[in-house]
Amino acid sequence: MSESTPNKNGMNIKEVFNPTVIKKGIVIFISISLITLVGIFIYTNTGNTIEVWSEIKLKYLFLGLIFIFNDLYIGGLRNHIFIREFVPGISQWISVKANLANIFMGAVTPSQSGGGPAQWYVFYRSGVSIPDNISNSFYNWISTLIFFPLTGAMSIYILQDQIPDGFVLHLTKFGFSVFTTILIVVIVGLISPKLLGSLITSLGSLTRRFSVKWGEKIVALGQKTVASLIDYKKKYIGLLKTKPQLMLYSFLLTILLYFNKYALAYVFVLAFGIEADFWSIIAVMAVLYLLLYFAPSPGGSGIAEISLVALFSPFISEDYSGSITLLHRSFLIFIPALIGAFIVLKQISKE
């Protein structure tokens, strides 16, 4: 298949792995991350940085490498439990590669929008159809939609007044509200697809009064939504009847995946010999990921670093917050994204 020819399911490698988009995204991601981190280190007393790093315990950095392995393995396995149902015998390594491609493209595209298509393309090249790819994403998305509002609410309760006022607090409330709203909409859509479709169509009819073009688009979206949700509902119920353990497995893997990410921050707290409450750090990370899920910048760059330092402020001295932020972003985003870049480049070279 040539690079410029769409496959039978409509996927085009130049659209999924657009070199111009990737190069621009890399520059933006690196630039924002570097500028933000430099600003953080200056703000949090650069003069103590050498002293802070001289105290680090290397055994915890090696322990952090295990957390990276866990993150990549569990992330791949969470997809693999469904993918192997669609394509029996498919290698789990394919799921790990698809996850890495997702991480890289998510890091270099706004709102992580390129991650999903990148993952689908890797799976497609191994025999997974686009409808099955979408179904896999939908099943895991349900687990994510349940997980984030629950842990977000628990974390906000644990931290209560310790979340700083201002930008971070507003982002936290926004993230929680968006997740809760989407979960309710998805539940309504699965229970009554036609009801949700009629609501969207009614919105389109109302929009026609102001803009015929946008009104028609919304009406068309409502019709497509009904058809898609009926299909998803049929598949979802069918899966629950035949293999209900898979949905439970997906949710448990979602818990393990994010708990591993959250706990890594505490490993770095220990690396610098800091005394901090374990569950408070876990709650901080849960709030961070809640607000980062819809962050508009590539890979959440800038927003992630600033938010993490702000959320850490009640628990960790500012002398250490910049260093812990750098380590956490490096181990969970920079290093996996770099590995993912090699996966993507290799994928492109095969076409």
pLDDT tens figures, 199-235: 777 777 778 777 777 777 777 777 777 777 777 677 7
Q: With respect to residue 126, please indicate whether it lies within any of the assigned structural domains.
A: yes
Which tens digit of pLDDT belongs to each residue from 58-109? 999 999 999 999 999 999 999 999 999 989 999 999 999 999 999 999 999 8
Distance CA 175, CA 60 (A): 31
Q: How many CA atoms lie within 13 A of 109 on its CB side?
A: 21
Query: For residues 49 and 119, which has the higher predicted lDDT (pLDDT)?
Result: 119
Distance CA 265, CA 236 (A): 35
Give pLDDT, residue 67. Answer: 95
Distances (CA, A) of 260 to 1, 26, 44, 113: 39, 26, 27, 23
Residue 332 DSSP symbol: I
- pLDDT range class, residue 2, cuts 50, 70, 90: very low
Give pLDDT, residue 271. Answer: 93
Q: How many CA atoms lie within 13 A of 149 on its CB side?
A: 13
Distance CA 94, CA 233 (A): 27
Distance CA 210, CA 227 (A): 27
Distance CA 24, CA 334 (A): 17
Beta-carbon contacts of 1 under 8 Å, excluding residues fewer than 6 positions away, are 7, 13, 351
Give pLDDT, residue 340. Answer: 92
Least confident of 163-167, 232-236, 291-295, 304-308: 163-167
Distance CA 307, CA 293 (A): 13
pTM: 0.83
Q: With respect to residue 3, please indicate whether it lies within any of the assigned structural domains.
A: no
Number of domains comprising the chain = 1
Answer whether residue 9 shows pLDDT above 60.
Answer: no
Give pLDDT, residue 12. Answer: 64
- Are 346 and 122 contacting, i.e. CB atoms less than 8 angstroms apart? no
- pLDDT range class, residue 132, cuts 50, 70, 90: confident
Give pLDDT, residue 160. Answer: 72
Longest alpha-carbon distance in the chain: 66
Beta-carbon contacts of 69 under 8 Å, excluding residues fewer than 6 positions away, are none
Distances (CA, A) of 107 to 82, 111, 296: 24, 9, 11
Q: With respect to residue 8, please indicate whether it lies within any of the assigned structural domains.
A: no
Q: With respect to residue 1, please indicate whether it lies within any of the assigned structural domains.
A: no
CA dihedral defined by 259, 265, 268, 272, rounded to 10 degrees? Answer: -130
Q: With respect to residue 107, please indicate whether it lies within any of the assigned structural domains.
A: yes
Distance CA 60, CA 222 (A): 51
Q: How many CA atoms lie within 13 A of 160 on its CB side?
A: 1
In one-letter notation, the amino acid at residue 125 is R
Q: With respect to residue 6, please indicate whether it lies within any of the assigned structural domains.
A: no
The burial class, CB within 10 Å (0-12 / 13-18 / 19+), for 172 is buried
Q: With respect to residue 4, please indicate whether it lies within any of the assigned structural domains.
A: no
Give pLDDT, residue 84. Answer: 93
| Look-up of token digits 């493209």 | 105
Q: With respect to residue 5, please indicate whether it lies within any of the assigned structural domains.
A: no
Domain that holds residue 161: 13-350
Least confident of 22-26, 139-143, 205-209: 205-209
According to DSSP H, which parts of the chain are helical?
Answer: 13-16, 19-43, 49-54, 58-86, 92-107, 115-124, 130-159, 167-191, 193-208, 212-242, 244-271, 278-292, 303-312, 318-329, 335-350
Distance CA 80, CA 317 (A): 41
Give pLDDT, residue 215. Answer: 73
